[in-house]
Amino acid sequence: MLNQTLETHKQSIRCAALIVFSLLVCLYTVYEFIVLWTASQISTAIVVLVAAVCLLAIAYISALQFLSFRKKFRLEQVFVFSMAVLSVGYMLFFRPIAAPDEQAHYISAYRLSNYFLFHWSQLHTEGVILRTADSAFYNTYCPSGMMSPADFAQLARDFTLFTKDTALVSDNVWSTAIVNAPFGYLASAFGIAVGRLLHLGALPVFYCGRMCNIAAYILLVYFAIKRAPMWKSVFFAISMFPMTLHLIASYSYDGIVLALACLFTAEILRLIYGEYITRRQLICCAALGALLTPNKLVYTPLVFLVLLIPRKKLEQVSRRPNLVKAGMIGMAIVCLLVFQFIHVLEISGVSGGENIVAWADVPGYTVGWVLQNPLQTVILFFTTLLKQGEWYLDTLMGSSLGWFQLAVPAYFYLPFGLCFLVACMKKSEDGAPLPFLSKIWTLILIFGSAALILASMLLSWTPLGFGYIAGVQGRYFLPLLPAAAMVLRNGSVQVNANMERHIAAITGTLNVFVLCYCGMELFGLI
């Protein structure tokens, strides 16, 4: 009788257990802040704020459990809810310029916003045209690269929702901008433009850009989950990584690149496993490849996933299927060359000049050195993987947030990796796994892209004679994970169809704990 009752209400019991556990965690967080308050180390307002946040966290977790285990709500709908709440939480938790290089991403997006507002004079100036308020914000708080708590407190005291000062100045801050991501800043630049049109203050404009970056990511991955014939939970799990949420809640274009990689992979899966294909699907897939490659040329090998599309499928729309594949790849390559020609020349060393590593002001590696020392280059690559491999895996999921000042323990971020691996497993209703040769080809493309990531940092960030390739972070490998799922999936290991619902509930809940931990770490409670 007891077993029957437990089986009947197992989902309700599971949800209740998660909610109770989350309640205990939040109550403990509030208790610790009350202790600080009684010791007069923090203000009453902080305690009230923490209590309110904890109540919101419990409400979110309860709603997430309800949505996750109600089949009338599709996984992409659960995704939108969970991502909207968590990404806004991460955005508010991490103060401005809290993500690596966010000041450079912000000024790059701001420059692009001038074109949305038809400030064509931007074309004829070496600086960036900013409003007076935005120039003061940038020059006061951004040059240091990381805003201190005291700076943020002062910024909060100077907060203004609207400003009447619409005067424009040309500020010489372009040296910090990033110019090799033509599509990565469209969303954040649009948000800045809207904020400027509404005459919002400097800080509200800054957050407008962040919010539009979040909205763009959610929209792109929503369609990836919706259109993917399988592995929907893979895109969900990757999006739930603390590192992913941290990136999309900032001005970093890495989130947009990841979203494009997810949507591109979803379209590839649709072309491989769909019963029939259309010219519209092929054009959409080719366009996504063309959008992906110019933002970061290191992901160009992923475009060659189109070679996995079965020839018989392409014969439904063309008598020359090989020409169709060549055209899809060619479209991406042409787009890459159009937007990144100068950048490609600089990397290849064709443009000439000595390679000086900016951060160390010392000579760095060059293409000529690599060509003259192939064996040493290979050894350097392997040495890097041996020394930094664990660091790459940890930072891929989110072991270090902010400017690497927030260390998240392994017992918080490793479950995200486990959920990703489970999401890669085959469900009973899924189609057959990729053939062995297709997996080998996919693996070659992944390793090729990873090699380009290492090579790019070797040429741009590593001093000559350095023991390993410097500057590589785990987040650079995030766009490779959707393709990696294609390799990991096999027919021998299967999971229950409801597993994707469990992944959604678990990863969403875990992120609340991550934010609680980071908050306690910031206040010195742990």
**Average pLDDT over every residue of 15-22:** 68
Compute the radius of gyration of the chain from its Cα atoms.
24
| Token pair recorded at residue 150 | 């005291």
Q: What was the pLDDT predicted at 179?
A: 67
With a pLDDT cut of 70, the percent of the chain lying above it is 85
**Average pLDDT over every residue of 128-149:** 81
Other C-beta atoms closer than 10 Å to the C-beta of 1 total 5
| Token pair recorded at residue 368 | 């000529």
| Token pair recorded at residue 362 | 């010392």
Between residues 30 and 486, the one the model is more confident about: 486
pLDDT above 80 for 495: no
Local confidence band at 367 (pLDDT 50, 70, 90 cut-offs): confident
Arithmetic mean of pLDDT over the chain: 85
pLDDT above 60 for 3: no
Q: Look at residue 512 and give its three-state secondary structure.
A: helix
pLDDT above 50 for 6: no
Bridge-based pairing of strands 494-495 and 426-427 is: parallel
pLDDT above 80 for 330: yes
pLDDT above 90 for 110: yes
pLDDT above 90 for 169: no
Q: What was the pLDDT predicted at 454?
A: 95
9, HSE (Cβ side, Cα atoms, 13 Å): 9
Q: What was the pLDDT predicted at 526?
A: 60
| C-alpha to C-alpha distance for 34 and 42, rounded to whole angstroms | 9
Q: Which of 92-101, 144-153, 337-346 has the highest mean pLDDT?
A: 92-101
Per the listing, tokens 């989110």 go with: 398
Q: What is the pLDDT of residues 455-477, one digit of tens each?
A: 999 988 899 888 899 989 999 99
| C-alpha to C-alpha distance for 211 and 326, rounded to whole angstroms | 38
Q: Cβ contacts of residue 112 below 8 Å, gap of 6+?
A: 185, 186, 189
DSSP per-residue letters across 36-98:
HHHTTSS-HHHHHHHHHHHHHHHHHHHHHHHHHT-TTS-HHHHHHHHHHHHHHHHHHHS-TT-
CA of residue 327 relative to chain centroid, distance: 29
| Token pair recorded at residue 39 | 């010791």
Q: Look at residue 161 and give its three-state secondary structure.
A: coil
Query: For residue 126, what is the DSSP state?
Result: S
**Average pLDDT over every residue of 305-325:** 89
Other C-beta atoms closer than 10 Å to the C-beta of 163 total 17
Closest CA to 239 of 365, 97, 87: 87
pLDDT above 80 for 420: yes
pLDDT above 50 for 47: yes
Q: What was the pLDDT predicted at 175?
A: 54
**Average pLDDT over every residue of 505-524:** 83
Closest CA to 462 of 371, 384, 352, 368: 384
**Average pLDDT over every residue of 148-174:** 78
Is the separation of the CB atoms in 288 and 331 below 8 Å?
A: no
| C-alpha to C-alpha distance for 74 and 69, rounded to whole angstroms | 10
Q: Cβ contacts of residue 54 below 8 Å, gap of 6+?
A: 26, 27, 29, 30, 516
| C-alpha to C-alpha distance for 415 and 153, rounded to whole angstroms | 35
Local confidence band at 231 (pLDDT 50, 70, 90 cut-offs): confident
pLDDT above 60 for 154: yes
Local confidence band at 212 (pLDDT 50, 70, 90 cut-offs): very high
Q: What was the pLDDT predicted at 303?
A: 96
> Residue 262 burial by CB count (10 A; 0-12/13-18/19+): exposed, middle or buried?
buried
Its pTM stands at 0.91
The region of weakest confidence among 171-185, 278-292, 393-407 is 171-185
| Token pair recorded at residue 478 | 């995030």
